[in-house]
Amino acid sequence: MRKVGVVGIGHTKFGNLSDYELVDIMAYASLNAMEDAGIDGGIDQVMVGNMGAGMLNHQTGIESALVSTLNLEPAMAELVSNGPASGSSAFKMGYMAIVSGMADVVLVTAGEQMRRITGWEATDFVATLSHPEVEYPYGLTLPAFAAMFTRAYMAKYGLTERQLSLISVKDHLNAEKNPFAHVQLPVTMEGIADSSHASVVNSYVSEPLRLYHMCPVSDGAASVVMCAMDGAARFKKKPVRIAGIGSATDTHCVHNRKDPLDLKAVRLAAETAYKMAGIGPKDISFAELHDAFVILELCLAEEVGFFKKGKAIEAIEKGETEVSGRLPINPSGGLKAKGHPVGATGISQIYELVKQLRGEAEKGRQVKNPKYGLAVNFGGFGNNVVATILAKE
């Protein structure tokens, strides 16, 4: 099987980019990635990851629009839409295009523009992931799912709200050093829990989750150039090898799962990626885990095998998941603070893996001597999950 590597990466600032058009935002990230790779053309395939351009931007066909904006005709172009896991799914499809021999060089760009609508409208947009008859009509937004999941985890394992806030503090410290992060602002345990200003920032969004226990509504895009490793010599940057990719699904309706705390799709996707890479959880140097809600950083770390169920919080309290710790998690700031333009998130995670494995992360965020990085991109509420492992050559 052909070996495939990433030779170029690009990223926009995450935040409010409502003054720009979605395709222009994606073009910016794409040009960054192509410049990083040292090319201005020669792309065989363009894969675009996006969840909601038709709904949010009143624009479809963004894949062909991006090709024309970049003057990359007649490159093949496809749109990959898989909810919040759209970015990593587009990456997987790009990998498959090269492995199959249909392409040698693939540009994968993912983006979303969510700030042109209100926060309430954005919540409703993401809630379209839920079942339209038995979930959505009853107010089951993603924050509601996350809150019920958090309550169930607290009841089973004794997790406290204070312990949950430790993850927010860590992620914000990392994001403060990330120039692309949406929220470059440190937070304190006291600030998160201070209910005296509840009407402003610290109120419960969906109890027991407060504002700083969940990600912001973001615009942004990220991009990578990948190629067959046997042709990588012509690129400016040394390739970072794609070692493993796995994906899996679980029941669309959460209430149909035997145990709602069992994120089966996460576990199976990670197991497939480990098997493909020929490694295990102990070989991972750092990870980017999908923490749209901080409880997910905790639980995904357990599902992928880093810690036993109910024990991840002990490692977090000991500082093991900090950048300087034994197993850094979300050195980018994660979705929690870096931001979450839903369709873009998977490629943003891949961007961070590549940057860290190259040793190019900013001072204070660079993981020491990384060899393998794991990204987990979480669609719906664990309905459709993609896990990716990249390796330093």
Examine residue 351 and state whether it is found in any structural domain, yes or no.
no
Examine residue 392 and state whether it is found in any structural domain, yes or no.
no
Q: Do 342 and 17 touch, CB atoms closer than 8 A?
A: no
Examine residue 269 and state whether it is found in any structural domain, yes or no.
no
pLDDT reported for residue 196: 47
- 3-state class of 330 per DSSP? coil
Examine residue 13 and state whether it is found in any structural domain, yes or no.
yes
CA dihedral 136, 142, 144, 148 (to 10 degrees): 110
Examine residue 45 and state whether it is found in any structural domain, yes or no.
yes
Given a cut of 80, is residue 52 above it in pLDDT? yes
Examine residue 90 and state whether it is found in any structural domain, yes or no.
yes
pLDDT reported for residue 198: 47
What is the C-alpha to C-alpha distance for residues 244 and 304, in angstroms, rounded to an integer?
A: 14
pLDDT digits (tens, 9 = 90+) for 185-209: 999 888 887 644 544 556 788 999 9
99-128 mean pLDDT: 94
Domain of residue 94 covers 4-117+221-234
CA distances to 48, 117, 129 from 219, rounded to whole Å, are 16, 11, 19
Q: Count of CB atoms within 10 A of residue 106's CB?
A: 27
What is the C-alpha to C-alpha distance for residues 241 and 254, in angstroms, rounded to an integer?
A: 35
Give the CATH number of the domain where residue 15 resides. 3.40.47.10
Q: What is the pTM of this model?
A: 0.96
Given a cut of 50, is residue 72 above it in pLDDT? yes
Bond into 260 cis (ω within 30): no
Examine residue 94 and state whether it is found in any structural domain, yes or no.
yes
Q: Do 145 and 165 touch, CB atoms closer than 8 A?
A: no
**CA-closest candidate to residue 270, choices 262, 260, 259, 281:** 281
Question: How many structural domains are present in the chain?
Answer: 1
Examine residue 310 and state whether it is found in any structural domain, yes or no.
no
Given a cut of 60, is residue 82 above it in pLDDT? yes
